[in-house]
Structure formats: C-alpha cells, structure tokens
Copies of this chain bind each other. A is one copy, B any other.
Amino acid sequence: MPTRRSPARRPTMKDIARRAGVSESAVSFALNDRPGVSEATRARVRGVAEQLGWRPNTAARALSGEGAATVGFVLARPAHTLGVDSFFLQLVSGIQEVLAERHLGLLFQVARDVSEECAVYRRWWAEHRVDGVLVADPRAEDPRPDLLEELGLPAVVIGGAPGAGHRGASSVWADDAGAMASVVDELTALGHRRIVHIAGLPELAHTRRRIATLRAEADRRGLTEVRSVTTDYSDTEGAAVTRRVLGASPAPTALIYDNDVMAVAGVAAASDLGVEVPRDVSVVSWEDSALCRIVKPRLSALSRDSVEFGSMAARELLSLLDGGPPRAARVPVPRLTARDSTGPARPV
C-alpha cells in the first residue's frame, strides 16, 4: 500500500494578502466586488489570486446565499435502456459546454420513475444542492412543473412545447408537428398510402404531439390506412411491432420509428420475414445517429443537433438564474436526411 503524501493546501485569502502586500480585509473587498479598495489594489489582488489558483469555497458561497453554483439534471429512465440511447450523452455534453463557461457544476442523477425524480428534487432543494434544474421527457400529466414552482427552483423543460403548462419554467422545444408533417409529405410524394408510425412511450408529451399530427395529416389527405402504435422504445418491442404490422394484410409500405434503435431492429425483423428495405417497405428513423449511417441499408432519418439542444437548454436556465423571465425557445425543425431506406411505394 503506497504512503500518501500530505495533501496540498488550498490557497487562502491570507496567502493572497501576504503576496499582494495588503490587508486581508482589502483582499476580501477586492474579491467580493465591494467598495473600500482602489481599482489598482483590486487589480493587483485579483492577479495574485489567479496566480495562486484561489477559488471561492463553494460551501461558503452557498451558505451566504450566493447559490450552490450547481445545476441539477435527473433522468427518469430504467438503467438498462440508457446505454442504447444516442440522444442523452450528446444532450449532457451540450449542457456542459455552456455550464463550464460559468464554472457551474452539473449534478446528475438517474431515477427509476417520475415519482422518484420528484423525491430527488425535494432532497436537492432541502439540502441547498442546486440553483436550478433541467427537466427531460415532459409528460402529458406532469407533476414536476408544479412541484418545482412550489419549491421555487428555476427550471427549463427540455422538449416542452410552449403553452403546455410548465408554470414558471422555461422550455426549449423542437417542432415535432412540423417535422412529422414533412415526413408525411416526403412519403406520400413517393406514393406511400399505408403508413405505420412505431412510436415511443405513450405518456410522453412529444409522443402525443407526433401521433396527433400524423392523424391530422392523414385526415387532411384522406389516407385511411395510417396509424400509430406505441412502445417502450426498446429494440425488442420495435422488432415485435414490426413483425405484427408486416404480417397484417394489406401490409404498410412505410414505417416511421420514434428512435434509431427500433428502426434498426425493425429492418432486421423485416428481413427475417423476407421483407426487403426499401424495395418492399420504406423506413424512417426519427432520431439520426452514427447508428443510422453504419447499418445496411443506411437509414433515412430526421436529424437534429442534440448537442446544441442541450446548450440551448443550459443557456435558458442561466437566463432564469440571472433573473430573466421564463420563455420558450425553439430549436431548428428536425429535417429529413434521405439515405437508402426510403424509396417509391411498391405498386400493389
């Protein structure tokens, strides 16, 4: 067992005072932006503080009411579904980029469900751990905005459409309705009239928006064989639903999957049934990722910039923390990147 050296000592205001040749109270005035020292002294003190690597103690700052300098993010998803999701790590990485500029930490937690997520918020709040939170996966019936408002925790709902009742929270949102309409445009232009949308979790708000838009677009065009089926986002359910709908008669000629993993599993399931993509059925993945580009055939997919989505959410939270009003910011509409999995509908 190696011996430990005694740990390095953190630089204190006393160290800075000694090095700068001023009193400790002058250092305190200078570093806390208070009057009582000249501009020249302030500049010298700050220079020395930077040289020594001095940082305000987070705990002291939190106790003095200046905030925890930390943002919280809870993801309520079962552990085993996390590894396959290409979206969240990119989102977190975008969040980080913005928080890092302000030296804010990201406190991250995985929860089993929304009620456990709410318990985490209550605990973080009671322990003064975070200044605000980012909320993912908004739901049709969502207890979180009310709770966060009650606690007075500033929040940004990621994927929350404007006017969806987020109380005092801001939101960043993607135009799912516009994106769905553009996919239906593209598929009907290729002659597809029988379309099945293999959707994600039915309780999520964006799942409902996509289903409602598909319904409206089909009605507008007089398409009677268009429908949505909800799943748990897993490759297993994606494959099972694919087998079921392709076994029906007449079978759909186009399938829209709510994530990349289900789309890839669906293509494999179709191939097992002797159904070829795109000859017999066209496939669109709602989420674009490396996965869509590396499988054969390469998948046509709705692309968006998930890193930028995260950055935008973090910027909205910073704006709330700076005292700005809650608002809804929209990310660019996801656009369809056509690759090898979409083609003309096979004549009946």
Contact = CB atoms under 8 A, between A and B. Distances in A.
Interface of A: 1-8, 10-11, 53-63, 68-70, 79-80, 82-90, 92-94, 96-97, 100, 103, 105-110, 122-129, 149-153, 167-168, 234-235, 239, 261, 264-265, 267-268, 271, 289-291, 293-296, 306-307, 325-326
A253 to B, nearest CB: 21
A55 B123 CA distance: 7
Given A126-B54, A167-B2, A239-B294, A94 B109 contact: no
B107 A106 contact: yes
A59 B295 contact: no
Contacts of A61: 59
Contacts of A8: 125, 150-152
Given A106-B109, A128-B57, A295-B268, A83 B86 contact: yes
B57 A79 contact: no
Contacts of A291: 84, 261, 264, 291
A79 B103 contact: no
Contact of A2 (B68, B235, B326): B326
Given A150-B8, A271-B296, A59 B110 contact: no
A99 to B, nearest CB: 9
A58 B271 contact: no
Contact of A93 (B69, B110, B167, B168): B110
Given A60-B63, A88-B89, A168-B4, A10 B82 contact: no
Which of A63, A70, A126, A153: most chain B CB closer than 10 A?
A126
Nearest to A267: B296
The 7 closest A-B pairs by CB, nearest first: A7-B152, A59-B62, A55-B126, A79-B93, A83-B90, A82-B89, A108-B108
A300 to B, nearest CB: 16
23 contacts: A1-B326, A4-B168, A8-B151, A57-B127, A58-B62, A58-B128, A58-B129, A59-B68, A69-B127, A79-B97, A79-B307, A82-B92, A83-B87, A83-B90, A83-B289, A92-B108, A93-B110, A105-B109, A106-B108, A264-B294, A268-B295, A271-B296, A291-B291
A270 to B, nearest CB: 10
A318 to B, nearest CB: 17
Nearest to A89: B82
Given A2-B167, A57-B127, 16 more contacts: A2-B149, A4-B152, A4-B168, A7-B151, A11-B126, A53-B122, A58-B62, A58-B68, A62-B62, A82-B93, A105-B129, A235-B290, A261-B290, A261-B291, A261-B294, A295-B295
Contacts of A86: 83-84
A295 B84 contact: no
B63 A290 contact: no
Contact of A83 (B57, B96, B234, B306): B306
Contacts of A53: 122, 126
Which of A79, A167, A234, A293: most chain B CB closer than 10 A?
A79
